[in-house]
């Protein structure tokens, strides 16, 4: 292991995808980080242990399963109380204009979404649209003032779903889809899950896997060709996500 360049401690992995940097760091009991700040806003999801955080206007202790949001430039110092692990989601431009204050996120859906992001990270973070969608969902749940439950379904959601159906093999982004219907990506991510019970990224994944299942019936196509035709980055990516969705490798499915 080596030191995490952005968050100190021992790096357990780092991945930059869809304009977001995901990283996990481990800290020994008694480890300290002097007063510092980060150029981008980020969520810190405490996976294990606890630490004390001091900033200009106060201090607090944070424990396992807590989520803390830090705005860009927020100065703070950390003292780790026991063996700890933190999963950090550095937002970059995704957080522009969303929030400017630090806060402890106690809303359970945010912890659930951060948990999903963590699983994607441990699985390789190889689906940019899924990562992007989860980040916007987390921002929406944490900071949107109007509860999703009070919002009615809108015609633009159906238009987004049709556009996805027509373009799911392309490298779509949430920013593109939201721009096509004139809404903010945060609102799209949250409203889509509310209406259809799944994220945009997972919906696209399901469509790609379903299409790949159809293509696998054509034995003249090799697996590499099928992977590209169905919108996967490469055959390795195809194998991994197909098995995760169906429990079988593409080769096993083809029989």
At residue 119 the predicted structure's pLDDT band, cuts being 50, 70 and 90, is very high
Please state the separation of Cα 17 from the chain's center in Å: 9
> Are both 220 and 171 inside the same structural domain?
yes
In the predicted model, is pLDDT for residue 207 greater than 60? yes
Mean per-residue pLDDT, 225-252: 94
Query: Smallest Cα–Cα separation from 48: which of 21, 22, 26, 77?
Result: 26
The answer to whether residues 169 and 247 belong to one domain is yes
Confidence of residue 97 (pLDDT cuts 50, 70, 90): low
96 & 33 share domain? yes
Are 196 and 243 in a shared domain?
yes
The helix or strand, by DSSP H or E, that contains position 253, with its residue range, turns out to be: helix 250-254
| Residue range of the domain that includes 197 | 144-255
Q: How buried is 207 (Cβ within 10 angstroms: 0-12 exposed, 13-18 middle, 19+ buried)? A: middle
* Residue 195 pLDDT > 60: yes
Give me the pLDDT at residue 202, please: 93
If DSSP codes are grouped into helix, strand and coil, which group holds residue 122?
Answer: helix
Label residue 42 exposed, middle or buried (CB < 10 Å: 0-12, 13-18, 19+). Answer: buried
**19 and 97 share one domain:** yes
- Tokens 């099928």 belong to residue: 226
Q: Domain ends where: 107, 127, 162?
A: 107
Asked whether residue 118 is assigned to any structural domain, the reply reads no
Mean pLDDT (whole number) for 43-67: 92
Would you say residue 138 lies in a domain?
no
In a domain, 116, yes or no: no
Q: Domain of 206: which CATH number?
A: 1.10.10.60
Is 32 among the domain residues? yes
Same domain, 152 and 86: no
**pTM recorded for the entire structure:** 0.80
pLDDT at 211: 95
155 and 101 both lie in a single domain: no
- Do 237 and 152 share a structural domain? yes
Q: Which of 82, 107, 132 is the last residue of a domain?
A: 107
Do 170 and 80 sit in the same domain of this protein? no
**Of 107, 136, 169, at which residue does a domain stop?**
107
Q: What is the mean pLDDT of the chain?
A: 88
pLDDT at 88 over 70: yes
pLDDT bracket for residue 99 (50, 70, 90): low
Residue 10 three-state SS: strand
In a domain, 136, yes or no: no
Assigned domain for 122 exists: no
pLDDT confidence of residue 172 = 92
Task: Please give the pLDDT value at position 93.
Answer: 64
Say how far apart CA 175 and CA 133 lie, in whole Å. Answer: 10
Q: Give the span between the Cα atoms of 192 and 156, in whole angstroms.
A: 10
- pLDDT category, 150, cuts 50, 70, 90? very low
The tally of domains found in the chain comes to 2
What CATH number did the domain enclosing 75 receive?
A: 2.60.120.10
Element (H, E) at 104: strand 103-105
Interatomic CA distance for residues 118 and 195, integer angstroms: 24
């Amino acid at each position: 292991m080596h030191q995490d360049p952005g968050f100190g401690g021992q790096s357990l992995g780092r991945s930059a995808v869809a304009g977001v940097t995901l990283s996990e760091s481990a800290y020994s009991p008694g480890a300290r980080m002097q007063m510092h700040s980060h150029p981008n806003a980020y969520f810190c999801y405490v996976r294990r242990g606890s630490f004390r955080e001091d900033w200009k206007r106060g201090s607090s202790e944070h424990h396992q399963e807590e989520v803390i949001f830090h705005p860009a430039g927020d100065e703070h110092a950390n003292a780790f109380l026991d063996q700890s692990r933190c999963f950090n989601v550095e937002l970059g431009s995704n957080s522009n204009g969303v929030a400017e204050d630090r806060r402890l996120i106690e809303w359970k859906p945010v912890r659930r979404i951060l948990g999903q992001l963590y699983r994607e990270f441990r699985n390789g973070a190889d689906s940019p649209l899924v990562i992007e969608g989860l980040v916007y969902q987390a921002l929406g749940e944490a900071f949107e003032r109007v509860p999703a439950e009070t919002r009615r379904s809108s015609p633009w959601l159906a238009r987004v779903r049709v556009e996805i159906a027509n373009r799911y093999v392309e490298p779509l982004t949430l920013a593109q889809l939201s721009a096509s219907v004139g809404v903010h990506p945060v609102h799209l991510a949250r409203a889509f899950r509310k209406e259809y019970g799944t994220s945009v990224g997972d919906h696209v994944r399901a469509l790609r896997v379903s299409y790949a299942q159809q293509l696998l019936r054509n034995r003249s196509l090799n697996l590499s060709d099928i992977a590209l035709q169905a919108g996967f980055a490469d055959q390795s990516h195809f194998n991994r996500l197909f098995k995760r969705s169906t429990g079988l490798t593409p080769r096993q499915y083809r029989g």
